[in-house]
C-alpha cells in the first residue's frame, strides 16, 4: 500500500501491501520528500532494455503537496489498449485517514486526476528513469478518468500514517483502471488478459518501478539501485488462492530471490504465449512478511483472471469513478 505522507513503520499481522515509492526521483521543479525506509526493497531486478516491456509498462507518477512540501509517488501499470491502463487501487486512493476493515472507500478518496502523469519512453530500449531525467525521451500522458473497484481495500483497516492491517485478503479488490485523455503513440503495445491462473511452478516475468537495493539484493549501485526506473526479474508461481497469485524467484548466489516491493505496486506479472503475446496474469499488490528483503517469502499479485470480467468492462458499472470534469474534480 502506498504511504503518501510518512513512512509506514509498523505493520500488523504478516502482510503489507507492495507500495508506491515516495520521493526518490522527480521531474524538474519538484521537491523530494524522502518517505521510504531501508526495509522496503525490490529483490534482484535488472534495468529493462527490452522494448516489449518498455512498450507495455508505464510509470504512474503522482505529485502531491503536503504541509507546503512537494513530493513524488510512483506506481506501475500495464497498457491494455491505447487509452486504458490497469493498476492497483491503492495507487490512486488517498489513505491518510482512518478507515475500518469492512468499510468502503468513496469517490472523495480517489486522488485528483490532474495529479497523475503516465510516463512511457520514446526510445523503447531505454527504460524510463526518473533518477536520470531525460524528458526528451519521455512521452507524458494525462488521466481523464479513474475507475476504482467499488469495494477496493474493503478487507483492510487503515490507520493513516500509523499503518494498516490486512484483515481479509479475499476482500482486497486491489484494482483500478485509468483512462487517458489521448491515445498513446503507435509504437506502444498492449497486454492480453489471462483467462485462467498460471500453473504452480510456472515461470513469470515480474516488472515494476520499485527499489533494487538493501538486504537480500545481490548487487546494486546508488543510481541503478534507486527506485523509479523500470526493472524486471523472473520468478515462479509459489501458491494460488481464490484471488491472489504468490510469486517469488529461486534463491541462488548469482540471481538471488526475486520478488516485488515498494514502488512496484500495480505492475504486471507476465507470461509469454507461444505466439509472442504478453499475457497479464497478475497485478502487484502486497507481500507476505514484514520486510520485502526476506528470502523465500513471495509477493502477492491480484489474479487478472479472477477479475477479467471487471477489467473487460464491468468497471463501468461496478466502480468508484472520478473524471476530470470540474463537477467531479476534488
Query: Tens digits of per-residue pLDDT, 39-66?
Result: 223 467 778 888 999 999 999 998 876 6
Quick check: is 50 in a domain?
A: no
Tally of domains in the chain: 2
Residue 135 has φ and ψ, to the nearest 5°, of -65, -20
Quick check: is 134 in a domain?
A: yes
Q: What is the pLDDT of residue 204?
A: 94
136 and 277: one domain? Answer: no
217 and 269: one domain? Answer: yes
- Spatial distance between the Cα atoms of 314 and 18, rounded to a whole number of angstroms: 25
Cell representation of residue 272: 509469454
Quick check: is 81 in a domain?
A: yes
Q: What is the three-state SS of 68-137?
A: CEEEEEEEECEEEECCEEEECHHHCECCCCEECCCCCCCHHHECCHHHEEEEEECCCCCCCECCCCCHHH
Cβ distance 139 to 82 under 8 Å?
no
Q: What is the pLDDT of residue 328?
A: 42
Nearest to 245 by CA among 278, 202, 212, 208: 202
Quick check: is 328 in a domain?
A: no
Q: What is the pLDDT of residue 117?
A: 95
Tally of residues, the chain: 330
212 and 178: one domain? Answer: no
Nearest to 33 by CA among 23, 25, 18: 23
Q: What is the pLDDT of residue 46?
A: 79
Cβ distance 302 to 282 under 8 Å?
yes
Nearest to 271 by CA among 330, 214, 193: 193
Quick check: is 145 in a domain?
A: yes
Q: What is the pLDDT of residue 259?
A: 84
19 and 167: one domain? Answer: yes
CA–CA distance from 101 to each of 90, 159, 161, 209, 306 (Å)? Answer: 15, 10, 16, 29, 22
The residues of the chain scoring below 70 in pLDDT are 1-43, 65-71, 213-226, 251-255, 288-295, 325-330
How do beta strands 192-193 and 156-159 pair? unpaired
108 and 198: one domain? Answer: no
286 and 176: one domain? Answer: no
Q: The domain containing residue 128 runs over which residues? A: 15-39+57-188+311-319
SS3 category, 27: coil
Q: How far is CA 74 from its chain centroid? A: 8
SS3 category, 281: strand
Cβ distance 63 to 70 under 8 Å?
yes
110 and 204: one domain? Answer: no
283 and 136: one domain? Answer: no
Q: What is the pLDDT of residue 31?
A: 22
87 and 202: one domain? Answer: no
Q: What is the CATH number of the domain that holds 241?
A: 2.40.10.10
160 and 205: one domain? Answer: no
25 and 144: one domain? Answer: yes
SS3 category, 34: coil
Quick check: is 75 in a domain?
A: yes
Quick check: is 268 in a domain?
A: yes
- Spatial distance between the Cα atoms of 187 and 124, rounded to a whole number of angstroms: 9
Quick check: is 102 in a domain?
A: yes
165 and 272: one domain? Answer: no
Q: What is the pLDDT of residue 116?
A: 95
Amino acid at each position: 500500500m502506498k504511504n503518501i505522507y510518512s513512512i509506514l513503520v509498523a505493520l500488523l499481522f504478516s502482510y503489507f501491501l507492495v507500495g508506491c515509492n515516495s520521493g526518490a526521483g522527480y521531474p524538474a521543479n519538484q521537491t523530494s520528500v524522502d518517505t521510504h525506509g531501508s526495509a522496503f526493497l525490490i529483490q534482484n531486478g535488472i534495468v529493462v532494455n527490452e522494448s516489449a516491456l518498455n512498450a507495455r509498462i508505464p510509470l504512474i507518477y503522482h505529485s502531491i503537496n503536503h504541509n507546503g512540501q512537494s513530493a513524488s509517488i510512483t506506481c506501475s501499470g500495464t497498457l491494455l489498449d491505447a487509452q486504458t491502463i490497469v493498476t492497483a487501487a491503492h495507487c490512486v486512493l488517498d489513505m491518510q485517514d482512518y478507515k475500518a476493515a469492512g468499510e468502503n472507500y468513496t469517490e472523495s478518496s480517489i486522488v485528483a486526476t490532474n495529479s497523475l502523469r503516465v510516463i512511457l519512453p520514446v526510445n523503447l530500449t531505454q527504460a524510463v528513469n526518473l533518477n536520470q531525467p531525460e524528458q526528451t525521451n519521455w512521452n507524458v500522458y494525462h488521466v481523464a478518468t479513474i475507475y476504482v473497484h467499488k469495494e477496493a481495500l474493503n478487507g483492510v483497516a487503515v490507520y493513516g500514517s500509523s499503518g494498516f492491517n490486512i484483515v481479509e485478503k479475499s476482500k482486497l479488490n486491489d484494482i483500478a483502471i485509468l483512462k487517458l485523455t489521448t491515445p498513446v503513440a503507435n509504437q506502444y503495445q498492449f497486454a492480453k488478459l489471462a483467462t485462467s491462473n498460471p500453473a504452480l511452478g510456472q515461470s513469470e516475468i515480474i516488472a515494476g518501478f520499485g527499489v533494487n537495493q538493501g538486504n537480500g539484493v545481490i548487487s546494486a549501485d546508488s543510481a541503478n539501485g534507486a527506485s523509479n526506473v523500470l526493472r524486471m526479474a523472473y520468478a515462479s508461481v509459489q501458491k494460488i488462492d481464490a484471488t491472489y497469485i504468490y510469486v517469488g524467484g529461486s534463491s541462488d548466489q548469482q540471481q538471488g530471490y526475486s520478488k516485488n516491493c515498494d514502488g512496484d505496486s500495480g505492475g504486471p506479472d507476465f507470461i509469454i504465449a507461444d505466439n509472442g503475446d504478453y499475457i497479464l496474469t497478475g497485478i502487484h499488490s502486497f507481500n507476505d512478511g514484514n520486510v520485502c528483503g526476506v528470502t523465500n517469502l513471495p509477493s502477492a499479485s491480484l489474479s487478472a483472471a479472477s477479475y477479467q470480467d471487471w477489467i473487460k468492462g464491468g468497471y463501468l458499472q461496478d466502480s468508484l469513478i472520478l473524471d476530470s470534469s470540474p463537477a467531479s474534480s476534488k
